[in-house]
Copies of this chain bind each other. A is one copy, B any other.
């Protein structure tokens, strides 16, 4: 029994890995099930034991990839936590960390960006995803609540806005150098993110 389960995991991993590599290098539309199973070294029918279709494996891969990015950023933040005492700086750190990662791994950016919806993203980072040990959304909300400085209105809309701004501007600057290279965009982006956060701060009157 243990052997069978082990074997299943090996097959599943092989399918994930080969699909990821092919999606990254050739794009999703240009990747066929045939290509995936070939590279994974399993039979075509086996694919359908694990996935409904190509879009099923795509969604699971994107969620997984997004999760990994955020978990890396989270861990890096924990290490240097003391350097970023302010909430605002923590957010900037995480965004920077992820964008730098994507800048060095451009294909991942291309893969994720065009396919990641907020719904999928939220699911990938939250409790719904049982395979997760760390739940980024939980962490985010705790970070918001424990924020001693200020109170935030609609923190989830704020996160959404930051992510959309960061991902869409970085997509164009990193992949196409349009309208300017990523490095040139970066200082502006950081300023904008800080501005977005400020726009969500609830002014507390005495």
Which of A7-15, A88-96, A162-170 interfaces with chain B? A162-170
Which A residues between 126 and 173 are near B, CB-CB below 8 angstroms?
154, 156-157, 160-161, 164-165, 167-169, 172
Which of A17-25, A73-81, A99-107, A187-195 forms contacts with chain B? A187-195
Residues of B within 8 A of A198 (CB): 195
How many identical subunits does the complex contain? 4
Check if B185 sits within 8 Å of A191, measured CB to CB. no
Q: Are B179 and A157 in contact (CB under 8 A)?
A: yes
Given the known inter-chain contacts A195-B199, A199-B191, please indicate yes or no for A169 contacting B178, CB distance below 8 A: no
Residues of A within 8 A of B (CB): 29, 114, 117-119, 122, 154, 156-157, 160-161, 164-165, 167-169, 172, 176, 178-180, 184-185, 188-189, 191-192, 195-196, 198-200
